[in-house]
């Protein structure tokens, strides 16, 4: 075993940067990292003779404000080429080779997009909202430049997750173009509980800080309304699985803020599920939410945000809730129970639709066209409740 005292630190720890991977070649070291909510690649020139000698770090440049990197590899050890994947909400998945010696980039493959897709019609950027406690929260946006005016008249779909340190990074979706061409702005709120801003971003959005996830999401919606990104009465939100807490708790806390909500296989009955250790996933999930069986503090805190436990007699936005009969992660009775309670207590006439798919699990049906049908249902719901269906995509 190597002597620890003889080792040299090549890339020191930084509280502002999270290292996600490395690739080593004969003459270069590439460090895949995340800082300020964005992924990056830092490249170092290895010194002659001693691998402990590093030149200054060079950041590979990327043109867009919001993007994702994936699938990087170094290839032959002696080669100066580094291959990585790139995508954004305007750029289909793209494989790129970069020569670390010259900086020259060569695009090797681009995901085909049918239907006359023109990337120049769309734009993406990142903005920052301010959370209730003053913490800056990044939000990624995409829109059709020829349709959206940013005069406060636009419908918005805001996506949120915020759990398990999963990074809800921006990515390209061909099916999303249908909404963008009909005038929607699509946004992703990179809220606490996820991993977009490093480990502490996750730590401050779990256990007894879980409410930060929800209040961050609400703050992002408020910011987009205040900056006239969207119409104040056309704010739509969506979240799946653990994102069901984000959506469900948000409509409980601020039902007036939202026009519509889509909750896909939502985890909404937090207290009841975490009390039942006969459910296969419950014990491992205590690492994420806390153990209400042994701790009254965790029990009371969970009950303060659990969507099912906070439904009140008041108006709620239009809602579409889905479930899968064979879902092993979020059992169908959770969203069923939530919808039943909403129907009993809500005082409005807005839509409340519940769709339990009898042939699906947690990730919907496996067929490609079946998945597209689910997306079409969600889009039809959004177009109906916002009135955006009057603008056919064929004329944009």
Residue 2, pLDDT score:
64
The fold of the 119-395 domain, in CATH, is Rossmann fold (3.40.50)
Burial status of residue 9 (CB atoms within 10 A of its CB: 0-12, 13-18, 19 or more): exposed
CB 126 within 8 A of CB 66: yes
- Ordered mean pLDDT values, 10 residues apiece, the chain (396 residues): 73 87 90 93 76 65 94 82 96 96 94 95 98 98 95 96 97 96 97 96 98 98 98 98 98 98 97 95 96 98 98 98 92 96 98 92 79 93 86 46
Residue 280, pLDDT score:
87
Residue 55, pLDDT score:
59
209 is catalytic: no
99 is catalytic: no
DSSP 83-140: EEEEE-SSS--EEEEEETTT--EEEEEE---TTT--GGGEEEEEEEEE-TTS-EEEEE
Instruction: Give the separation between CA 38 and CA 214, rounded to whole angstroms.
Output: 22
Q: How many residues are given for the chain?
A: 396
Instruction: Give the separation between CA 382 and CA 238, rounded to whole angstroms.
Output: 11
CB within 8 A of 232, min separation 6: which ones? 152, 225
- Which one of the listed residues 65, 209, 295, 362 is annotated catalytic? 362
362 is catalytic: yes
Backbone φ, ψ for residue 254 (5° rounding): -135, 65
Instruction: Give the separation between CA 319 and CA 259, rounded to whole angstroms.
Output: 9
Instruction: Give the separation between CA 275 and CA 278, rounded to whole angstroms.
Output: 9
Tokens of 248: 């469900």
Nearest to 337 by CA among 316, 323, 318: 323
- Which one of the listed residues 30, 88, 241, 250 is annotated catalytic? 241
Residue 394, pLDDT score:
45
Residue whose pair of structure tokens reads 């793209």 in the numeric block: 94
Burial status of residue 394 (CB atoms within 10 A of its CB: 0-12, 13-18, 19 or more): exposed
Nearest to 184 by CA among 395, 382, 352, 371: 382
SS3 assignment, position 82 = strand
Residue 48, pLDDT score:
58
Task: List 189's β-bridge partners, or say none.
Answer: 139, 160
Strands 318-324, 352-357: pairing is: parallel
Q: What angle do CA 336, 341, 344 make, to 5 degrees?
A: 125
Instruction: Give the separation between CA 20 and CA 30, rounded to whole angstroms.
Output: 11
pTM of the shown model: 0.94
Domain segments of the chain as ranges: 15-110, 119-395
Q: Which is it for the CA torsion 216, 222, 226, 229, positive or negative?
A: positive
DSSP state of 192: B
- Which one of the listed residues 159, 181, 327, 357 is annotated catalytic? 327
Burial status of residue 142 (CB atoms within 10 A of its CB: 0-12, 13-18, 19 or more): buried
CB 68 within 8 A of CB 20: no
Instruction: Give the separation between CA 375 and CA 354, rounded to whole angstroms.
Output: 15
Tokens of 362: 């947690």
């Amino acid at each position: 075993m190597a002597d620890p005292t003889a080792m040299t630190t090549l890339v020191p720890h930084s509280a502002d940067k999270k290292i996600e991977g490395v690739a080593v070649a004969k003459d270069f070291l590439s460090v895949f990292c995340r800082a300020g909510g964005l992924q990056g690649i830092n490249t170092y020139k290895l010194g002659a003779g001693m691998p402990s000698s590093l030149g200054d770090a060079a950041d590979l440049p990327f043109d867009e404000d919001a993007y994702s990197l994936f699938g990087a590899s170094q290839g032959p050890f002696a080669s100066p080429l580094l291959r990585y994947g790139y995508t954004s909400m305007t750029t289909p998945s793209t494989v790129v080779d970069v020569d670390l010696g010259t900086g020259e980039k060569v695009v090797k493959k681009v995901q085909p997009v049918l239907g006359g897709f023109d990337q120049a019609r769309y734009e993406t950027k990142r903005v920052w909202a301010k959370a209730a406690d003053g913490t800056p929260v990044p939000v990624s946006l995409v829109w059709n430049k020829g349709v959206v005016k940013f005069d406060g008249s636009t419908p918005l779909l805001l996506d949120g997750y915020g759990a398990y340190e999963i990074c809800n990074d921006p990515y390209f979706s061909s099916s999303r173009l249908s909404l963008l061409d009909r005038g929607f702005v699509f946004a992703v709120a990179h809220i606490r509980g996820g991993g977009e801003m490093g480990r502490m971003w996750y730590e401050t959005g779990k256990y007894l800080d879980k409410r930060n996830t929800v209040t961050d999401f609400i703050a992002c919606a408020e910011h987009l309304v205040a900056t006239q990104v969207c119409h104040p009465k056309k704010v739509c939100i969506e979240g799946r699985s653990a994102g069901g807490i984000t959506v469900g708790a948000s409509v409980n806390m601020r039902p007036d803020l939202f026009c519509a909500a889509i909750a896909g296989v939502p985890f909404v009955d937090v207290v009841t599920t975490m009390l039942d250790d006969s459910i296969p996933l419950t014990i491992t999930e205590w690492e994420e939410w806390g153990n209400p069986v042994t701790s009254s503090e965790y029990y009371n805190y969970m009950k303060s945000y659990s969507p099912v436990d906070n439904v009140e007699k008041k108006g709620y936005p239009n809602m579409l809730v889905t479930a899968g009969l064979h879902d092993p992660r979020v059992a169908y009775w959770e969203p069923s129970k939530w919808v039943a309670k909403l129907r009993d207590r809500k005082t409005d006439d807005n839509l409340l639709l519940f769709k339990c798919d009898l042939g699906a699990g947690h990730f919907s049906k496996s067929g490609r066209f079946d998945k597209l049908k689910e997306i079409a249902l969600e889009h039809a719901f959004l177009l109906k409740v916002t009135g955006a269906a009057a603008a056919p995509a064929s004329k944009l």
